[in-house]
Amino acid sequence: MSLVQLDDYGPWTVTPKPRSETDLQAFQSRLFADLADFVGSRDGYAFFGRFDNMIAVTNGIDPETHERFQERVRNRYPVTASVGIGRAPTPAAALGAASEALQSAGGAQDPARESAIAVAGPDRSSGHVTIAHFDVVDATATYTNTHNAVDTNLTIQRATTELASYLRSEHDGVTQFVGGDNVVAACPPLDEAQFDEALAHVEAVAGVTLQVGVGAGSTARDAGQEAKEALERCRETGTRFARGD
């Protein structure tokens, strides 16, 4: 997992006075889009996280390639980005290692840190990723077409938060809302019963019925495509869980 953190970004957004919020929104979104393209075309996955702290699943992408992304940011944007790369048996542990590596290289608002890169963990990762792709059963009919958008958004947001907390505490997963009613998690290999429990938990605490497609592979792209195709089978067959072949 990689953690991409903008350098000294908070202070920049208010220097010399608070910058236009819509400009910041547009700027952050485009920078993330660039990361998604960059990582995506190398078979990884990118998550917007908090925009100033973006997360990527980057199995098989070496540090030199990350530097190329840093160069691109430096050439295109008024800010720079530092990167922590962590390798560990679970996604959350890998992201923890990445976080610590980056913290060692300097704080997020340390003016001296600029385009730093830090790596932690064993030399080679296992090369195996599991991706779970969730969505809300019948979201359009149940929510979008019948409720105030503010409530639909809140409902999805709460379901996401509960799912992310659960997968973090129970299985060391890293979970991200990816738009619409879709949520993607990088997680260890789990069995169907474990996913059923996760869905049941979200239904119990947030009142939202999810379904999930699960895929595995040597890259996030392979695992993720498999997960998406499995989720299609859920949509077609009405089952709540499907796994790629």
The residues in 169-228 that bind a second copy, with binding defined as CB under 8 A, are: 174, 177-181, 184, 221, 224-225, 228
**Residue number with CB closer to a second copy (48 or 195):** 48
Residue from 62, 67, 151, 192 that binds a second copy (CB under 8 A)?
Answer: 151
CB of 123 to a second copy, least distance (A): 22
CB of 17 to a second copy, least distance (A): 7
3-state secondary structure the chain: CEEEEECCHHHHHCCCCCCCHHHHHHHHHHHHHHHHHHHHCCCCEEECCCCCEEEEECCCCCHHHHHHHHHHHHHHCCCCEEEEEECCCCHHHHHHHHHHHHHHHCCCCCCCCCCCEEEECCCCCCCCEEEEEEEECCHHHHHHCCCCHHHHHHHHHHHHHHHHHHHHHHHCCEEEEEECCEEEEEECCCCHHHHHHHHHHHHHHHCCCEEEEEEEECCHHHHHHHHHHHHHHHHHHCCCEEECC
**Residue number with CB closer to a second copy (15 or 193):** 15
CB of 95 to a second copy, least distance (A): 5
Binding of residue 67 to a second copy (CB under 8 A): no
CB of 211 to a second copy, least distance (A): 13
Q: Which of residues 88-127 bind a second copy (CB under 8 A)?
A: 91-92, 95-96, 98-100, 103, 107-109
**Residue number with CB closer to a second copy (121 or 224):** 224
CB of 4 to a second copy, least distance (A): 10
**Residue number with CB closer to a second copy (21 or 193):** 21
**Residue number with CB closer to a second copy (54 or 199):** 54
Stretch that binds a second copy, among 43-51, 121-129, 194-202, 237-245 (CB under 8 A): 43-51
**Residue number with CB closer to a second copy (120 or 193):** 120
Contacts of 220 (CB under 8 A, 6+ apart): 43, 44, 45, 57, 58, 59, 129, 131, 186
